[in-house]
Amino acid sequence: MNELKILVVDDDTNICELIGLYLKKEGFKVDFAYDGEAALQKYKSFSPDLIILDIMLPKIDGIRVCREIRAESNVPIIMLTAKGETFDKVLGLEMGADDYIVKPFEAKELAARIKAVLRRYDTNSENEQKDVSLPGLYISITNYELKIGDKVIDVPPKELELLYFLASHPNKVFTREQLLEDVWDFDYYGDSRTVDVHVKRLREKLEGVNENWSLKTVWGVGYKFEVK
C-alpha cells in the first residue's frame, strides 16, 4: 500500500513542524508550503491525497488557494482557522473545503478528522453500488458523481455525501446534529452551521430541477429530502 500524502500549508513553521511530526508518526508522507503561491505549486508537484490549509497566508490567502484547487480537483481539504473567525469558516466551506478545525487544536482531533475524511474517499474497501436515481437527478457515492438532468455537476465530496444521505432516506427529517454525526462520520467538533452552508450550496444547484422532489427545511428541527 502506498503512503498517503498530506500537504500542510501554514506560514507558522512551528505549527507545520508539530503537525508534520505527528502525521509522519501516523504513517503519512508529509510536505509543507508556507504561503499561498507555494501551496499551489506544491499541490501540482506533490499531488497530495489531502491538504491541510490555513486561511491566513502570505501572498495568496487560503480561501483563494482552496477556490483555485477546487476548480480542478476534489482532493480533500481541511481548513485551519484562528479561534473566532466565524466568517472565514463559513466562507471556506462555501468554497468547497471538506472540513475545518479551529486553532489551537489537539493533534488527536486533527488526526481523527483526517482519517474520517480519507475514509469517505476510499471506495476500494466497498464494492457495493450506492446511488439514488430520481427524475432529473442521479447521485452516486460509488463514483462520487452528481448528475442533474443530462449534465454532470462538479460538487465537493461533502455536499455529495450530504445529498446522498438525505435522498436515500426520503421524507425523513434529520436534525443538524444527526447529520453532523451521520454524514461527517465521527464525533464532530464543529457547529451546526456547517450543515446549513452545505444545504445552501446544494439548493443553488438543485433549484427548479423537478417539482416532484426538493431539499426542505423543517423549521425548528432540521432538513429532509421530500419526495412527492
1-50 pLDDT, tens digit each: 457 899 999 999 999 999 999 888 888 899 999 999 999 999 999 999 99
Q: Are 51 and 5 in contact (CB under 8 A)?
A: no
**What's the whole-model pTM score?**
0.61
- Tell me the angle at which helices 157-167 and 176-183 cross, rounded to the nearest 10 degrees: 110
Termini Cα distance of the chain: 46
- Across the beta sheet with 77-82, the strand order is 29-33, 5-9, 50-54, 77-82, 99-103
Q: Are 210 and 137 in contact (CB under 8 A)?
A: yes
Q: What pLDDT score was predicted for residue 211?
A: 86
Residue by residue, pLDDT tens for the chain (228 residues) are 457 899 999 999 999 999 999 888 888 899 999 999 999 999 999 999 999 999 889 999 998 999 899 888 888 999 888 766 665 667 777 777 888 888 888 888 888 888 878 876 664 444 455 788 888 999 988 778 899 988 898 888 888 989 999 999 999 999 888 888 778 765 555 567 888 989 999 999 988 888 889 999 999 889 999 998
Q: What pLDDT score was predicted for residue 149?
A: 86
Tell me the C-alpha distance between 193 and 197, whole Å: 6
CA distances from 35 to 6, 49, 123, 139, 216 (A): 16, 19, 32, 36, 40
Q: What pLDDT score was predicted for residue 124?
A: 41
Domains present along the chain, CATH in parentheses: 5-121 (3.40.50.2300), 131-227 (1.10.10.10)
Q: Centre a 10 Å sphere on the Cβ of residue 24 and count the other Cβ atoms it contains.
A: 13
| Rounded percentage of the chain residues whose pLDDT exceeds 70 | 88
